[in-house]
Amino acid sequence: MKRPSLEIRDYRAGRYFRRLIKFLGPEGIDQRLLKIDKQIQSASGIYLRNWVIPRAAWWLGLKEARAIIQRNGSFRRAITILMERPLQTALKLSILHSTLSESKCNEFRSRILADDILEPTLFEIDTAAHFWQLGYDIEWFVNRSDSGERTPEFIAKRNGNEIEVECKSKQADSGRRVERAAFYRLVDLLLPIIEKKGLSGVIFLEVPSRLPRQTKWFQEAQQAVEDQFESGSGSVVLSGDERFFFDLHVADVSVVHLKDLASMVDPVSNPYSHFAFMGQRRNDLISNPIVFRLDSQKRDAFLDNVMESLRNAQRQFTGTRSALISCLLPEIDSFKGLQSDSAIQRMTYHYFEKYSKDFVNAISYVSEMNRVEEGGVIFSDMPSLTFRNHKYKEKFGPDIPVYQ
């Protein structure tokens, strides 16, 4: 029997939001929202806009939905972009509820309320809901981490076949030399100085390895920008061999399109760089932009970090069933072109060849939800890319139908 889709009509949203609020508990929600409000109030600038608020977006959406419920309002044509993600979670928890034991409910509730980073928990729910929609029955493993025993997330069962699924979720900073939060804090210290000087243009900072954390270093960087940055091109070397390069000009009424701004920093050729922009934005145009890029001379180890996660995931399987590792990779709009002769393809095949056991059928890489709106209808999907293990033994069952 075909199972229903995961689509929600706006007039039914209240039903699912109420279930989610009941599941989490009003008191727990209040405590989490109070913590988030304090984080937002204590932050500012690019750090607030690009780091604090995105990390709190799920909760801010739930806050908006709860406000509508509290005033007995209607959700018709009232679903905001922020509300969409917690609404999807509410729907998925609702359809999976019959598969969840009391202990599993308590585990999910605790993790959602307590964890500052929700992606690993939400990804497990997303993955289970995906297999449920494909017609699989879901059987969750009992979490025995307190006793040191590690298990996969769940078993997907269909037509006599059983698949163990383990979910791994990577963060944007995984394996990175420079953490994004520290970068945004630096941007908020330096770019206002350039703006106050009435300058516009590009600044590039290269650090030998990691971004220094000492207050003294940040003061040195501020002083260097204040004293030595001027109209024209130049460079400045700090005490730890950190190097600034700049190409600035007097700010006028020049306007730059976003796509041209992106070409100034060339993110394709510099995939591991950090980027930030400052300027007055109107639609896709920015006037007098200041562009900041930061690089580490040492190679980031993101894929090394992913490889370690794959090896850890394999240790969690029982070895008696077909197994799938589903790995969330952030900030990838599309996996198109990565199926062959790419760094991720080579790394995955190296894992299969050197480390994989014969019960691992496939690795599926998934990225965050893409959102497209057409004529008032909102479509969302999670881009994915699956690689099959050439060492897999058919005694564990047929290839896993990941997409249908």
CATH number for the domain harbouring residue 149: 3.40.1350
Do 103 and 54 lie in one domain? The reply is yes
pLDDT of residue 395: 93
The CA distances from residue 19 to 4, 170, 231, 270, in Å, are 19, 29, 58, 44
Instruction: For residues 277 and 139, state if they share a domain.
Output: no
- End residue of a domain, out of 65, 98, 116: 116
Q: What is the pTM (predicted TM-score) of this model? A: 0.89
Check whether residue 401 and residue 266 sit in a common domain.
Answer: no
Same domain, 169 and 20: no
Residues 1 and 107 in one domain: yes
Q: Which amino acid, one-letter code, is at 347?
A: M
Q: Are residues 63 and 8 in the same domain?
A: yes
Does residue 92 sit in the same domain as residue 33? Answer: yes
Tell me: do 308 and 168 sit in the same domain: yes
pLDDT for res 373: 58
Cβ-proximal residues to 381 (8 Å cutoff; 6+ apart), any chain: 369, 370
- Give residues with Cβ within 8 angstroms of 189, minimum separation 6: 218, 221, 222
pLDDT tens, the chain, 404 aa long: 556 567 778 888 999 999 999 999 999 999 999 999 999 999 999 999 999 999 999 999 999 999 999 999 999 989 999 999 999 999 999 999 999 999 999 999 999 999 999 999 999 999 999 999 889 999 999 877 777 788 999 999 998 999 999 999 998 888 888 899 999 999 999 999 999 999 999 999 999 999 998 999 999 999 999 999 999 999 999 999 999 999 999 988 778 887 777 776 666 566 678 888 888 888 888 888 889 999 998 888 888 999 999 999 999 999 999 999 999 998 877 788 888 888 899 999 999 999 999 999 999 999 876 665 555 445 566 788 999 999 999 999 888 877 66
d(CA 295, CA 211): 9
Q: Are residues 332 and 374 in the same domain?
A: yes
Q: Are residues 17 and 80 in the same domain?
A: yes
- Whether residues 163 and 309 share a domain: the answer is yes
Are 363 and 386 spatial neighbours (Cβ–Cβ below 8 Å)? yes
Q: What is the pLDDT of residue 399?
A: 86
Paired tokens of 165:
């699924």
- Per the structure, the complete domain to which residue 22 belongs is given by 1-116
26 and 44 co-located in one domain: yes
Contact (Cβ atoms closer than 8 angstroms) between residue 222 and residue 189: yes
- What is the number of domains present in the chain? 3
The domain boundary, picked from 244, 273, 296, lies at 296
Task: Compute φ and ψ for 312, nearest 5 degrees.
Answer: -65, -40
DSSP state of 3: P
Residue-level pLDDT at 176: 86
pLDDT attached to residue 269: 61
- Single residue among 296, 318, 333 that ends a domain in this structure: 296
Give, in order, the Cα–Cα distances in Å from 121 to each of 103, 239, 381: 15, 43, 18
